[in-house]
Amino acid sequence: MGWAFVKRRMRAELGADWQSRFGEFGKEPAAAASLGQVHRAVGRDGRDLACKLQYPDMASAVEADLQQLQMLFSLHRRMQPAIDTREIAKEISARVREELDYKREAANMAVYRNVLRDRDDIRVPDVVEELSTNRLLTMGWLQGEPLLSFKEHPLEERNRIAMTMFHAWWHPFSHFGLIHGDPHLGNYAVFSYEGAPAGVNLLDYGCIRIFPESFVGGVVDLYLGLLEGDDDRVVAAYERWGFQGLTKELIEILNIWARFIYGPLLTDRVRSIADGVSAAEYGRKEAFKVHKALKELGPVTVPREFVFMDRAAIGLGGVFLHLRAELNFFRLFNEQIDGFSSSAVAERQEKALRAAGVPVVTSAA
């Protein structure tokens, strides 16, 4: 959006006197967002601000795109597919529609600020409510550098960033049933102290997936089943997630992907997230193998929660590959699930969501 258009959009959100509510407002966008663009501004109190302004008529554009997606999925189901896409379509539609609501995103930020409040190395923007609407989100500006600018830093610094990212992703999931579901590299920035990386800014909370505690429990059970060679626990985890018609062949295929995702967490040693694999190739071989096997077996309905769980897990793995981090992922993960309890996850989740005004999950929806 050009400056003339931005002025019209800001007037629609904050009224004719909108410019008087800022000390300064950048005419050129500082960054692009999924459904809008970000402008840098200064508040009347001198505070640096980031204003995310949604493009016009995005609700209509999103609905048109989702209709096209439904059509593509319908055609896909007629072509001897490996995966039945009905649940995937429902999940994508629900999450994308949520991204249109910046009030919800503001509430998501409040949840994450609370969940990560004890970590000085993870920063979540705070919201300026009086300058925010359903389609305008005004936040404090977090200064940081692109994550990829640290690719050539010493291993110790890269590992520190990776450990922070691991906690920022796995702690909310294992303790509250939440994930930051948009793993785009632009959604992370590294802030420094005295020339050394000190922590990570987590940006863009439009796509936050809230899971029922049963799904979180299944993630932990599958991990422990693979770790201990407990086939019954593995099967129980898949059943807990809602997989239907489990056969020995199907379980073996699902385990190909599970061992890929959990692989770095299963061995108590320092290692990269995927030895000898580039970020561009991460997961491709395993995905091809699973797809080929499922196509021979017949279409499988994958529970809808997997869409953004897998998306985020692959994205996080890509971050570790870009950083060439070498960590003991086994110990990092076991620290997160030590004393795990599904009921405790449900209790903490409900408390955190209610405090921020986010609807509490009562089902997979």
Q: Report the distance separating Cα 83 and Cα 68, nearest Å.
A: 19
Of 362, 257, 361, 248, residue with least CA distance to 302: 257
Q: Where are the domains of the chain?
A: 1-56+125-141, 58-97, 147-356
Paired tokens of 60? 């209509």
pLDDT averaged over every residue in the chain: 91
SS (H, E, C) 51-77: EEEECCCHHHHHHHHHHHHHHHHHHHH
Query: CB-based burial of residue 56 (10 Å sphere; 0-12 exposed, 13-18 middle, 19+ buried)?
Result: middle
Which range is least confidently modeled, 206-210, 223-227, 289-293, 309-313? 289-293
- In tens, the pLDDT along 90-118 reads 999 999 999 999 999 999 999 999 999 99
CATH code at 1-56+125-141: 3.30.200
- pLDDT exceeding 70 applies to what percent of the chain? 98
Global pTM reads 0.91
In this prediction, residue 162 carries a pLDDT of: 96
Which range is least confidently modeled, 149-158, 218-227, 298-307, 331-340? 298-307
Paired tokens of 306? 């997997």
